[in-house]
Structure 1
Amino acid sequence: MNTVVILVLFYNVVVIGGIGFYIWWRERHEHTTIDMALGGRSAGVATMSVTLAITYLGSAHVYGLMEMSFIMGAVALWFSFAHTILMCVMCLGTGPWIRRIGVSTIPELLGLLFGKRIRLICACVAGMVVFGLVTLETQTLGIGISSMSGWPLGWSAVLGAGIGTAYVYMGGIKQTMWVNLVNACVMYAAIIIAAIYLTYSLPGGWEAVTQHYVDNGTEFKLSVFGEPTLLASFSLAAIFSVVFAQSVNQQGMQACMSAKDEGVIRKSLWIAAPVNGLFGIFPVLVGLAAATIPEFAELGPKLAGATLVVTLLPTWLVVLVQAGFIGALLSTFAMSALAPATIFAKDIIGSSKKEPMTPEHEKSLIRRTILIIGIIAAFMTFFLHPNIVFAITWLFAWLVPFFFIIIAGLFWKRSATAAFQVIICCWSVNMVWSFIPQVKQVIGLQFLENPHVVSIVALVSVFIFNFIANDAKEPFFANGRYEKVEGVTQ
C-alpha cells in the first residue's frame, strides 16, 4: 500500500471517525436518540448549504466528468451547469415548499397529495433509483482508490463502500453534514492548487493540449457548445434529467427537510450554487488533458484522468486532491445510502404499522438498512461498470414524473387517479425508450434521450389527465396558504 493511499485513508478515518464518535458520545451523555434521517431538523446555513452542494458532487462530477470530457470534450460541463440550475430550483422552490409542509420523505409528500397507494408505489421506485445511484458512487469510489493503489476495481470499491457506510452509520445526516463541511474546505483548496500546478507539469502546458485538438480537427471539443447534435442531445438531457428529477429526489431533499426553517434553505443558495457549480471545471480540464497524452489516453476514459492526477502531481498534492475527491464521493454515497434507508423505514415499514416506531427502533432499522445497501452495492461493482453519466441520466428519468405531479398537486389540483396515470405513462415510455430502440427510430425521434421524452410525456399527461379527472381536489397550497395535515411531524 503506497503513501498516498495510507494518508488518504488516515484522513478519512480521523475525520469520519472523530465526528461520528463525538455525535455518539453526545447521544450517550445527553441520554438522547440520534435522529438518523433528519438530525432533529436543526441544520443551519453552513452545514445545510454545503451538504446540498456536495451531495450532488458525486460520481458523475468527479470521475464521470473526466470520462465524458475525454470522449466528448468540454460540452460535458453542461452536466455541471444543470446542477447549478438545480441548486436555484431547490433553494428557491421545492426545498422551502417541502420544508414548510414538514414531511420526512418525498413518498410521504406524494401520499399526502394523492393517497397511500401512490406513496407506496413511489417509495419502491424512488428507493430503487437512489440505490442505483449508490452502486454508481461505489464504482467511482473504486476508480479513485484503484488509481491511487493499483488494486483491482472490485476490491477498491469494497473498501470505498466500507468507508462510505461509516460516513453516515454512526450519526446519520448530522454526522454527514459536519464531515461535509470539513471535506468541502479541503476539496476546494486542493483543486485550486492542483489546477495551477498542472499548468506547469503538463507536457507542453495547456497550450499543447489545445494544439492537439486543433491538429486533429477536433477543436469543437474545446468549446462548451461542442457540435450542434451533441449539444442538443447531451446538454438538454442533462438539464431535463437533473432539474426535474433531482429537485424532488429524496437524496438531496433530505438536506432541505433537515433545515431549521425555510429561510435557511433560501440563504443556502449563495453558498450551494457556487460550491457545486464551479467544481466541474477541474475534472473536465483533466479529462481533456488526459486524452492528449498517449500514456494516459491508452488507459481509456475511465482511468485516464484519475491516473493523470496521481502521476503528474506531487505526493502531498495528490493526497489533498484525492482526499477532496474521495470526500465528495463519500458524501454522495452516504446521502444516497441514507435516502433509501429512510424511505424503507418511514414509507414501507413505518407506514404499514398501526403504532409509530420508537426513535430507537427507527434508528436501528435505518442503520441496518444502510449496512445492507453498502454490502450489496459493493458486491455489484464486481460485475457492473456502466458509463456513469449515461446511467445517472437514465435513473433520473424515473423520477421526472414526480416533479410534475407534485407541482400540480401543490398549486393546481390534486387527483390520485391522474397522478397514477401520469407515472405509469412516463415509466412505460422510459422502458420502451430503453429496451425497444426500434420504436424511436420508426417515429424519427432517436435524437431524444430518455429524460427528454419522459419530461414531454409528463408535462402533456399531467394536463390531460387532470383535466379529465373526476376526483380532483383543491391544491395543497390553496389561495396562497398551506394546510396543517395530521400526522406530519414539524
Structure 2
Amino acid sequence: MSSILLMVLIYNIFVIGGIGWYLRWKEKQTHSITDMALGGRDAGIAMFSVTIAITYLGSAHVYGLMEMSFVLGAVALWFCFAHTILICVICLGTGRWIRRVGTATIPELIGKLYNKRLRTYTACVGAMVVFGLVTLETQTLGIGISAMSDWSLGWSSVLGAVIGTAYVCMGGIKQTMWVNLINAVVMYTSIIIAGIYLAFVLPGGWEGVTEHYVSNGQEFKLSILATPDLLVGFSLAAIFSVVFSQSVNQQGMQSAMSAKNEKVIKRSLWIAAPINGMFGVFPVLVGLAAATIPEFAALGPKLAGATMIVELLPAWLVVLLQAGFLGALLSTFAMSALAPATIFAKDIVGANVKGGLSAKMEQSLIRNVIILIGIIAASMTFFFQPNVILAITWLFAWLVPFFFIILAGLFWKRHSTVALIVVLAAWIVNLLWSFSDIKQGLGLAAFENAHIVAIVSLIATLVGNALVSNAKPGLFKESNGEKQPLTAQA
C-alpha cells in the first residue's frame, strides 16, 4: 500500500470513525434511537447547505469530469452549470415544497398526491435508479484509490465501498452531514492550492495546454460552447436530465426532508450554489491538461487525470487533494446508498406492514440494506465500467416524469390515471430511445433521452390533466382552500 493511500485512509478512518463513534455513544447515553433517514429533521443552514452541495459533487464531478473533458473539452463544464441551476431549483422550489408536506421519501409524496399503487411503482424505479448511481460512485471511488495505489480498479472499488458504507452506516444522515462539513474545508483548500501548483509543474504551464489544442486544430475543446452538436447533444441533455430528475430525486431530497424548516432551505442557496458550482473547474482543467501529456494520455480518459495529479503534485498536496476528492465521492456514495435503503424501509416494507415498522426495526433494516447495497455495487465494478457521465444522464431520465406529476399534483390537479400514464409513457420512451432505432427513424437523432422524456412527460401531463374533469385540486391549492396550509411541520 502506498504511503499516500495509507495517509488518506487514516484521515478518513479518524474523521468517519470518530464522528460515527460519537453519535453511537450519544445514542446510548440518551437512550434514543438514531433516525437514520432524517436525523430528527433538525439540520441547520451549515449542515444542510454543505450536504446538499456536496451530495451533488460525486463521481460525475470528480473523475467523470476529468474523463469527459479529456474527450470533449471544456464543454463538460455544462454538467456543473446544470447542477448549479439544480441547487437553485431545490432551494427555491422543490426542496421547500417537499419539506412543507413533511413526507420522508419521494414515493411517499407521490402516494400522498395520488395513490398507494403509484407509490410502489415509483419506489421500485426510484430505488433502481439510485442504486445505479451507487455503482457509478463505487467505480469512481475505485479510480481514485487505484491512482494512489496501482491496485486494480475492481479491488480499489471494494475498498472504496467499504469506506463509503462506514460513512453513513453508523449514524445515518446526521453522520454524513457532520463528515461533510469537515471534508468541504479540506476539499476546497486543496483544489485551490493544487490549481496554482499545477501552473508551475505542467510542461509549458496552463499556456502550454492552450497551445497544444490550438496547434492541433482543436480550439473548440477550450470553449464551453464547443460545437453546435456538442452544445445540443451534451449541454442541453445535461441540464434537462439533471434539473428535471435530481430536483425530485430521493438522493438529494433526503437532505431537504431533514432540514429544520423551509427558511433553512431557502437561505442555504447562497452557500450551496457557489460551493457546488465552482468545484467543477479544477477537474475539467486536469482532464484537458492530461490529454496533452503523452505519458498520461496513453492511460486513457478514465485514469489519465487521476494519475497525473498523483505523479505531478507533491505527496502532501496529493494527500490533501485525494482526501478532499474521496470525501466528495464518499458523501455522494453515502447519500446514494441511504436513499434506496430509506425507500425500501419506508415505501416497500414499512408501507405494507400493519402499523408500520418500529423505530428500532427501521434503523436496523436501513443499516442492513446499506451494507447489502455496498457489497453488490462493489462486486459489479469487476464486470461493468461504463462512462460515468453518460450513464448518469441515462439514469436521470427515468426520474424526469416524477418532476411533472409532483408539480401538477402540488399546484394544479391530481388524477391517478393521468399520473400513471405520464410515468409509463416516459419510461417506455426512455427504453425505446436507448434500445431501438426509433430516434433515427423519426429523424430525431439529436435528441438525447433526457430531451425526449421531458417533452413526453410535459405533453402527457398537460393534455391528460386538461382532458379529465373529475381530478382533485392540487395539494397546496386544496389546503389553501380549506385554510389549512401545510406548514405545521416546517
TM tier relative to shorter chain: over 0.9
Deviation at 1:470, TM superposition (A): 4.6
Partner residue in 2 for 1:455:
454
How far apart in 1 are the matches of 2:469 and 2:355?
Answer: 33
- Residue type of the alignment partner of 2:170: M
Encode CA deviations 1:243-278: one digit per residue, 9 max, x unaligned.
000000000000000000000000110110000000
Deviation at 1:372, TM superposition (A): 0.3
Encode CA deviations 1:13-43: one digit per residue, 9 max, x unaligned.
0000000000000000111000000000010
Partner residue in 2 for 1:91:
91
| Contact 1:401-1:458 at 8 Å conserved across structures | yes
Partner residue in 2 for 1:415:
415
How far apart in 1 are the matches of 2:385 and 2:468?
Answer: 43
TM-score by length of structure 1 reads 0.98
| Contact 1:417-1:469 at 8 Å conserved across structures | no
Encode CA deviations 1:350-377: one digit per residue, 9 max, x unaligned.
0001112111110000000000000000
| Superposition misfits of 4+ residues, deviation over 4 angstroms | 482-486
Matches within 5 A, 1:93-108: 93-108=93-108
User: Does 2:441 correspond to 1:477?
Assistant: no
Partner residue in 2 for 1:390:
390
How far apart in 1 are the matches of 2:485 and 2:201?
Answer: 60
Partner residue in 2 for 1:53:
53
How far apart in 2 are the matches of 1:116 and 1:63?
Answer: 39
Q: 1:161 to 1:434 in 2, by over 3 A?
A: same
Matches within 5 A, 1:357-436: 357-436=357-436
Encode CA deviations 1:176-216: one digit per residue, 9 max, x unaligned.
00000000000000000000000001011011100000010
Q: 1:146 to 1:461 in 2, by over 3 A?
A: same
3-state secondary structure, aligned to 2:125: helix
3-state secondary structure, aligned to 1:58: coil
How far apart in 2 are the matches of 1:161 and 1:2?
Answer: 19
How far apart in 2 are the matches of 1:369 and 1:470?
Answer: 43
Partner residue in 2 for 1:145:
145
Partner residue in 1 for 2:286:
286
3-state secondary structure, aligned to 1:310: helix
How far apart in 2 are the matches of 1:30 and 1:406?
Answer: 38
Over the residues paired in the alignment, what is the CA RMSD in angstroms?
1.3
3-state secondary structure, aligned to 2:472: coil
How far apart in 1 are the matches of 2:213 and 2:427?
Answer: 40
3-state secondary structure, aligned to 1:278: helix
How far apart in 2 are the matches of 1:177 and 1:485?
Answer: 30
How far apart in 2 are the matches of 1:118 and 1:372?
Answer: 26
Partner residue in 1 for 2:245:
245
Deviation at 1:482, TM superposition (A): 8.3
- Residue type of the alignment partner of 2:449: N
| Contact 2:100-2:489 at 8 Å conserved across structures | no
Partner residue in 2 for 1:332:
332
How far apart in 1 are the matches of 2:359 and 2:270?
Answer: 34
User: Does 2:16 correspond to 1:7?
Assistant: no
Partner residue in 1 for 2:223:
223
Q: 1:167 to 1:42 in 2, by over 3 A?
A: same
3-state secondary structure, aligned to 2:473: coil
How far apart in 1 are the matches of 2:288 and 2:73?
Answer: 6
Deviation at 1:485, TM superposition (A): 10
Deviation at 1:468, TM superposition (A): 1.9
Deviation at 1:220, TM superposition (A): 0.6
Percent of aligned positions that are identical: 68
Query: Which segment is superposed worse, 241-250 or 351-360?
Result: 351-360
Encode CA deviations 1:74-112: one digit per residue, 9 max, x unaligned.
000000000000000000000011101100000000000
Gaps of 5+ in 2: none
Query: Which segment is superposed worse, 99-108 or 463-472?
Result: 463-472
| Contact 2:479-2:485 at 8 Å conserved across structures | no
Partner residue in 2 for 1:254:
254
How far apart in 2 are the matches of 1:227 and 1:284?
Answer: 17
TM-score by length of structure 2 reads 0.98
- Residue type of the alignment partner of 1:197: Y
Encode CA deviations 1:404-448: one digit per residue, 9 max, x unaligned.
010001111000000000001000000000000x21111110011
Aligned residues: 488
Partner residue in 2 for 1:123:
123
- Residue type of the alignment partner of 2:152: P
- Residue type of the alignment partner of 1:50: V
How far apart in 2 are the matches of 1:122 and 1:235?
Answer: 27
How far apart in 1 are the matches of 2:121 and 2:277?
Answer: 33
| Contact 1:103-1:489 at 8 Å conserved across structures | no
How far apart in 1 are the matches of 2:251 and 2:259?
Answer: 14
